[in-house]
Amino acid sequence: MRHRSRSAAPLHLEQLSKLLGSRSYRPIDGRRHSPASRTFMKLTLIAASLLAMLSLSACDRPGGDASRTAPAVSPEPTAAPVSGTGATELAKGDGGALGVLAAIDENEIALAKQAIAQDLGGANDEFAKQMLHDHEANLEKTKALGATDSPRADAMRAKGKAAVDALEKTLTLPDGKDAYRNAFMRTMVTDHADTIKILDAELIPAAETDPVKAHLEETRRVVSAHFERAHSVSSSR
């Protein structure tokens, strides 16, 4: 499409207006028409002219349809970076996947013990005790299947320690226990959501044998139930 200069548009409209407003205007067929008919034709021509100018203007406008591009395709899953350590390699093989899962279990156990020590009471305390029981049982099974340490597992442990330290600091706030309770439940929601993503994108695909894959899939079901309960407890406060 050829682009016309915008400066030409006012002149074009002015000329058209003078032409249409002239008393000597005659239609092409040479016949005279009633005033109402002539007015209708004038309005039709003006509308057509304005439409043409708007179309030309749209061609020049930045961000028009022609300049829009499709959103980028999401990249392949990568290991989540941990503050201060940078990105680490994804878990590989049965031992690597189990090692990362063991680190996640250890993190949840540490958080649960910390919460239980605060005597939160009610649903919050019950949830913390369930976390301690379930993750201790899962850690035992995970180690029995041959979990191995790796930089990725170490990075997960560092992330868990940072979460424990952050929650500890909330106890120094004026509202003390309430601040901790709220922060703990928010952490439980985000931690379990992140664990589901890690299982789906990293650990389950890395499994090499059926027993390990079955354990990871069962872990996912348990973690999903934890996530739902954490969200429910957090929302009911």
Task: Please report, in tens digits, the pLDDT of each residue of the chain (237 residues total).
Answer: 444 444 444 444 455 445 445 444 444 444 555 555 555 555 555 555 555 554 444 444 433 333 333 233 333 444 444 433 445 689 999 999 999 999 999 999 999 999 999 999 999 999 999 999 999 999 999 999 999 999 999 999 999 999 999 999 999 888 888 999 999 999 999 999 999 999 999 999 999 999 999 999 999 999 999 999 999 998 876
In a domain, 84, yes or no: no
If we measure between CA atoms, which residue out of 230, 206, 217 comes closest to residue 89? 206
Which pLDDT belongs to residue 79? 44
Q: Does residue 134 lie in a domain region? A: yes
100 and 213 housed in the same domain: yes
Burial class (CB in 10 A: 0-12, 13-18, 19+), 142: buried
Q: Are residues 33 and 133 in the same domain?
A: no
pLDDT at position 133:
98
- Same-domain pairing of 44 and 101: no
Does residue 161 fall inside a structural domain? yes
**Are 102 and 215 part of one and the same domain?**
yes
Distance separating alpha carbons of residues 44 and 21, to the nearest angstrom: 14
**Residues 231, 145: one domain?**
yes
Domain range holding 36?
8-61
Write the burial class of residue 91 (CB in 10 Å: 0-12 exposed, 13-18 middle, 19+ buried). buried
Report d(CA 177, CA 72) in Å as an integer: 44
Cβ distance 229 to 191 under 8 Å? no
pLDDT for 34? 56
111 and 194 in a common domain: yes
Estimate to the nearest angstrom the gap between the alpha carbon of 48 and the chain centroid: 46
Which pLDDT value is given to residue 47? 56
pLDDT of residue 198: 97
Instruction: Report pLDDT for 235.
Output: 84
CA 174 to chain centre: 33
> Looking at the structure, do residues 97 and 54 belong to the same domain, yes or no?
no
Domain with 157 in it: what CATH number? 1.20.1260
**Nearest Cα to Cα of residue 28 among 40, 39, 41, 18:** 41
Q: Is 41 exposed, middle or buried (0-12, 13-18, 19+ CB in 10 A)?
A: middle
Whether the CB-CB separation of 171 and 98 falls below 8 Å is answered with: no
Residue 109 sits in the same domain as residue 45: no
DSSP string of 32-100? ---HHHHHHHHHHHHHHHHHHHHHHHHHHSTT-GGG--PPPPPPPP-PPPBTTTB--PPP-HHHHHHHH
pTM of the model: 0.64
pLDDT at 215: 98
Domains contained in the chain, number: 2
- Tokens for 1, please give them: 């499409």
Same domain, 135 and 200: yes
